[in-house]
Amino acid sequence: MKNVGVLLVWNLLVLSATGDLEVTKNSTSFRTSGEICLNGGVSVSSLTGGRHMFCLCADGFEGKLCETAKAQDCYVGVGHFYRGTVSKSWRGRMCEEWDAETRQRYLTSDVNAGRHNYCRNPNFRRRPWCYVRRNLKLVAEYCDVPRCTLKPTPPSPAATETQIAELSCGLPTRRMQYKIVGGETTAVEAHPWYAAVLRQKHGRLGLHCGGSLISPCWVLTAAHCIPDGSKTNMSAFSIILGRNRLHEENPAVEQQFSVEQIFVHEGYGKYLEFDDDIALMKLKAKDGQCAKRSNFVNTICLPPPQQFVPAGTLCEIVGFGDEKEGAAVNPEHLKEAQVNIFPDDMCAGPGFYGKRISEKMFCAGRLDWSRDSCQGDSGGPLACEVGSRFFQFGIVSWGDGCARSLRPGVYTKVSKYNQWIEEKTGLITSGVLYPEK
C-alpha cells in the first residue's frame, strides 16, 4: 500500500507539472442541493436578492446548467485516471485483456474490476497503453488516445461583471512572485487575506502564527496557536493585515488590530492530538470599523459545508514561517508555495500518518518533499482557486518536521466547521460570500 500511495501522488504531481491539472484546478467538486445546476454544479448567487447568476460546473461537465458531459476519450497528465474505452494500440493492434495480477493490484476499482481490454496506465508510463500480440509474443504498446485539451466553460461576460461588482472575497489584487519551505517570495497583494498573528512574549511582540481574514472583523487560525485556550490573555495578541516584510512597518498599506474575543474549538485535542485544530479571533474595531478592503487587504471565501476539492488539486500556502526545519530566524519576506492535495487513504495510510489522521484533516505537499509549511506558518490558510476565486479549504495544523520524506503537512478541513463558524461569529457561510448577519 505504501508504494501504491507514493505512485498515486507522483502521478498527481506529474499532472501539475504538465499543466494538465488546470482542468481540475479551475473546476469544482462542490455539490448543490438546489435544482438549478445539474451534475454536481454549484449555483453562484448575488448578494442582492440572492438571485442565481451562473453555475460553477463539476469536473467533467459543462454548459449553462452543467448539463453536458465532456468528452471522456482523452487523458490528463500521464493518464493514470483514464477510464475511456479505446482498445487499440497506436499501431492498430487490438488490446489483450488485462491479466489477473494487474487487475488485482491496480484495477479493482476500474470498469468490471479490470476485466476488459481498454487502454490504461496502471504503472505510470508516459501515456495509456495495453498489451498486444506481436509475432505471437505479448508486448506493451502505447494507445492512440488523445491528450485532453478541454477547459471548464467560463461564466458569461454579464455574469462576470455582476460577480466582480457584488462578490469580493477570494480575489487577489495581483499575482506576483520574485523568487514556507521551498517556496518563493511573494507580495501580500497576491494573498490579501493573510493575517500575521503576533504575540507579546518576554516583553517583545513577535510572529506567533498565521491566520486569514474571513470577514472584516474575524480572523480564522489554528487552535494550537492559542496555547492557553479560554484563559488566553487577548491583550497579548496583535493582528497585522497587509504586511509584506516581517520587521518593516508600512502604515500606508497595513492595518493593525488588537483582539477583543477568541474562540477555540471545544473539541480541540480531546480525541486526537490536533483534532478540531481551529480557532477564531475577533478584531477590535476602530471608530466602529474593522478591516477596510484595499489592494492589500481583502477577505478569503469559505467553501460550502462538507465540500472539498479533488485529490491532486494544486493549492497555495503562504506565511512568514521557517524556510527549513530548525531555522534560527523567520524569513523577512512573505513567502508562498504550491502544494498538491493528497488522497485521504494515502495520508492515513501506514506509510504516512496512519491513525493520527481524522476525517477532519487532510494532507498536502509535493512528492519530492521540497515544499511544506513549517514553524511559524501554523494557522495560515491553504487556498485553492475555484472559478477564478480563492477558497480556504485548509488551515496549517501540524506535521512531523518540515518537508520530511513521507511526512506531508497536515491541515484542518475548513468545510467541516461552517456551522461552528456561524454559531461563534454570526457570519453566513452557506453561500459564496459570507456577510455578517
Give me the pLDDT at residue 374, please.
56
Give me the pLDDT at residue 249, please.
83
CA 74 to chain centre: 25
In the predicted model, is pLDDT for residue 337 greater than 90? no
Span 184-201, mean pLDDT? Answer: 85
Span 203-231, mean pLDDT? Answer: 89
User: How many beta carbons lie within 10 A of that of residue 329, not counting itself?
Assistant: 10
Span 395-415, mean pLDDT? Answer: 81
In the predicted model, is pLDDT for residue 139 greater than 50? yes
Give me the pLDDT at residue 371, please.
52
Whose CA is closest to 115, among 130, 98, 131, 101?
A: 98
393 contacts 384 by C-beta, under 8 angstroms: yes
Half-sphere exposure for 408 (CA within 13 Å, toward CB): 28
* Of the listed ranges 66-70, 104-108, 231-235, 279-283, the one predicted with least confidence: 66-70
381 contacts 300 by C-beta, under 8 angstroms: yes
* Of the listed ranges 105-119, 200-214, 392-406, the one predicted with least confidence: 392-406
Provide the residue type at 4 as one letter.
V
| Sequence spans of domains, the chain | 72-149
Band of residue 281 on the pLDDT scale cut at 50, 70, 90: very high
Partnered with residue 209 across adjacent β-strands are: 197
218 contacts 427 by C-beta, under 8 angstroms: yes
Band of residue 53 on the pLDDT scale cut at 50, 70, 90: low
C-alpha cell at 60: 467533467
C-alpha cell at 176: 506576483
Eight-class DSSP state of 215: E
* Of the listed ranges 24-38, 85-99, 272-286, the one predicted with least confidence: 24-38
Distant-in-sequence, close-in-space partners of 318: CB < 8 Å, separation ≥ 6: 180, 186, 191, 194, 210, 334, 335, 336, 337, 380, 381, 383
Band of residue 436 on the pLDDT scale cut at 50, 70, 90: very low
Partnered with residue 337 across adjacent β-strands are: 317
In the predicted model, is pLDDT for residue 344 greater than 90? no
199 contacts 237 by C-beta, under 8 angstroms: yes
Highest-pLDDT range among 45-54, 148-157, 356-365, 421-430: 356-365
Alpha helix locations (H) across 93-202? 100-106, 157-166
Could you confirm whether 378 is annotated as catalytic?
Answer: yes
In the predicted model, is pLDDT for residue 33 greater than 70? no
Work out the percent of the chain whose per-residue pLDDT is above 90.
32
Highest-pLDDT range among 32-46, 239-253, 285-299, 326-340: 285-299
Whose CA is closest to 399, among 410, 391, 389?
A: 410
Band of residue 359 on the pLDDT scale cut at 50, 70, 90: very high
- Say how far apart CA 223 and CA 221 lie, in whole Å: 7
Band of residue 375 on the pLDDT scale cut at 50, 70, 90: low
Q: Which CATH superfamily is domain 72-149 in?
A: Plasminogen Kringle 4 (2.40.20.10)
Marked catalytic residue, from 20, 59, 277, 322: 277
Whose CA is closest to 180, among 12, 402, 369?
A: 402
Marked catalytic residue, from 46, 373, 378, 397: 378
Span 168-195, mean pLDDT? Answer: 68
Give me the pLDDT at residue 47, please.
44
Provide the residue type at 102 as one letter.
T
Report the predicted TM-score, pTM, of the whole model to 2 decimal places.
0.62
Could you confirm whether 116 is annotated as catalytic?
Answer: no
User: How many beta carbons lie within 10 A of that of residue 23, not counting itself?
Assistant: 20
* Of the listed ranges 131-135, 151-155, 392-396, the one predicted with least confidence: 151-155
More confident residue, 35 or 4: 35
Give me the pLDDT at residue 115, please.
92
Marked catalytic residue, from 224, 275, 322, 397: 224
Name the average pLDDT for the chain: 75
- Say how far apart CA 241 and CA 291 lie, in whole Å: 8
Give me the pLDDT at residue 350, please.
81
Could you confirm whether 208 is annotated as catalytic?
Answer: no
